[in-house]
Amino acid sequence: MSTPVIVHCGDGHFRRAIYCLGPYIADYPEQCLLSSVVQGWCPKCTAPPDELGSLSVTPRSQEHTATIAAELELWVAWDSYGVIADVVPFTEAFPRADIHELIAPDILHQLIKGTFKDHLVTWIEAYLVATHGKTEARVIISRIDQRIAVVPPFAGLRRFPQGRGFKQWTGSDSKALMKVYIPAIKGHCPSDMVRAIRAFLEFCYIARRDVVDTNSLNEMQSALLRFHQFRKIFETTGIRKEDTHPPRQHSLIHYHRLIRDYGAPNGICSSITESRHITAIKKPWRRSNRYKALGQMLKTNQRLDRLAGARADFEARGMLKGSILDSVSAPVQGESVIGSNRETGREKAPNNDEDDPSDDDEFEVSGERTTPSIMMASRALERGANASDIGKKIQHRQFVSLIIDFLRQQQLESSLPPPSDFDPSITTYPSVKATFHAPSDISGTGGMRGERIRAVSTWRNHGVSRYDTVFIKLNNGMVGMRAFNVARVCLLFSFNYSAGTRYQCALVDDYILASDGPDEVTGMWLVKRAIDHRSRQQISRVIHLEEILRAAHLIPVFPNTGDIDRNISPDTALDHYRKNLFYVNKFVDYHAFETVY
C-alpha cells in the first residue's frame, strides 16, 4: 500500500499504481465494531442519535476519532461523540485507509430488511393497532393479507398464500413483499404513509440499478427528500417520536456520496457475502451427518471446487455444451426452435392445453447483449384447425374478422376475400418467450433475461386458465408508460397467407389508461378494460408477435371495505375484478420499473 507497481492500463498506457483497501462490506453492528462507534450512532458521520433525521451532516474521519480517544475520558467520548475510545480500528496503521470512509452501503440490511421490513411494515401495523384497536386492526391486517394472497401470478413473483404473516423473514421474503405491498395497503392507511413507502421503494429501485449515473443520483435525492417529507406522518400520528431516525434508515443520506466513491451499490451489497455463506456453510452443513461436521463440510467444498474446475476445463475443450438430445432432434420445418427441448434437455409432454410445468417462467440468457426478441414456443397445442372453429372454442365470434383487420394493416387489402370466404388454417401455441436486456435483474453475463408469456385454458392441471398481460410497443416517440399499451393475451397462433408468408400473431384484449398520469399516491399508472361504447363488448384485436415487448403485471384496485371472496385465487383475480381499475405494477422487477418509470 506504499510501493507503486507498473500496471498496463486499458487504454494501452503503462502507469505506476498504488493499491489500497477498497469498500468494506458489513452490516450495521459490524460497522460499529470496525469503526469503534457506539451502536445507535452513525459510523459515517458525527450526527448524534437524536439528530439522525438531519440531511446536513459532518463526515467522520479516523483522525477525528483518534483525537477524541487521545484527549477525552472514555465516558465523555462515549456519551458526547459516540466513540469507543479504548478500541483501535484495524486500519489505523494502514496508509490512506480510513475505516469511516471504507464502510460501503448495504442494500440488504439497510434498505430491504432494515428500513422496509423492520421499520415501515412494522410502523404500518403499529398505526393500525393505535388507530383501530387490536381487534379491528387484526381484521384490517387480515384483509391486507388477503389482497397480497390473490395478486395475479408473474414470472419470478413469489406467492404469499397466507399473506405476509410468516414468522422468519429472509431478504428474499422482503424483496418479494416490496413488489406487491403498496396496492395491498392502499385505502387502509393515510395517503402520506403510502407516499412515504412509494418514495422509499423508488429510492431502493434506483439504488439497485446496474449503472448509476448523475441523473440517477438526482432521482435518488428527489426520492429521499420526498421520503423524509412524508415519513413525518408517522410522527404526527404518534407512531414514532419526533426527530428520531433509526441508524439504518439514516444511512440513506450517505448513498449519494458512497455511490460516487464506489459505484453502483448492487455490486458491493452484503447479499453477496450472504449468498456465499449459503453455498459454503449452510448447504454443506445440511449434507453432513451433523457430527463433527467441519471436516465433512470442508471436504464437500473441496469436491465441489474440483467439479467446477473440471467442468470449466471440459467446456474450454468444447465439451458439455447442450445436451444429448441436441444431436438427435431437429426443428420442425417453418417453426421456431426457441423454447424447444434444447433448453431443458427433457422430452416434451404430449399435446394438451398447458405448457410443460417444469419450464420456468423466467430464466437467464447467456451470451452478449442482443436486441429484444420474442419467439413462439416450439410445441404447438393444435395444428391445422380452422380459424372459425378456434373462434367458437375461445368464444371470440369476431376472430376471423380480426385476422382480416390484421392483414389489412399489413397492406394486403387488395387480395383479401370477404370474411364469409376466409377461414385460414391456424396453429395455436401455449406460450412465447420474450428476451430483453435487464442487467439490474437476475440475468446472464450480457445482461439478457428471458420470461415466458402464457395463454392456456388449463394451467398446471388446476382447472383454471392463465392468460398473461403484456406491454405492446407503440411507435409514438413517447417514453415511459405512454410508449406502451397494456393488453391481455387470449390466444397465440400462426398461419400462412399470401404465397406461404407465415404470420405469428396474438389475439389480445386491450386495456386503456384511466388518466393522463400515474396515481398521485401510489405512483403507478391505472388502466381499465377497453370497452366498445356501442356494443358494450371488450375491444380485441390481432397483433403481430413482434409488437409485444414483455409481460406486464396488473394488480386490481381492491375495494376498501369488506373481505375478499375466498373463491378468488391469483389465477382468477383479473377476471373477477374485470370491471375494476388495475395498477400497472412498476415494482414487480427492475426492468418494469425502468420501462414504466
SS3 of 27-62: CHHHHHHHHCECECECCCECCCHHHCCCCCCCECCH
Beta pairing class for 425-429 and 382-386:
antiparallel
Q: Residue 544 has what pLDDT?
A: 93
SS3 575: helix
At residue 473, the pLDDT reads 92
Could you tell me the three cell numbers for 546? 413482434
Burial class (CB in 10 A: 0-12, 13-18, 19+), 181: buried
* The pLDDT value given to residue 565: 83
- Specify the 3-state DSSP secondary structure of 108: helix
Enumerate residue ranges in the chain where pLDDT < 50.
328-359
Model pLDDT, residue 349: 35
Q: Quick one: CA dihedral 176, 179, 182, 185, positive or negative?
A: negative
CA 419 – CA 402 distance, rounded (Å):
10
User: What is the rounded distance in angstroms from the CA atom of residue 138 to the CA atom of residue 401?
Assistant: 52
Query: What is the distance between the alpha carbons of residues 494 and 426, in angstroms, rounded to a whole number?
Result: 6
In this prediction, residue 269 carries a pLDDT of 79
The predicted pLDDT at position 355 comes to: 38
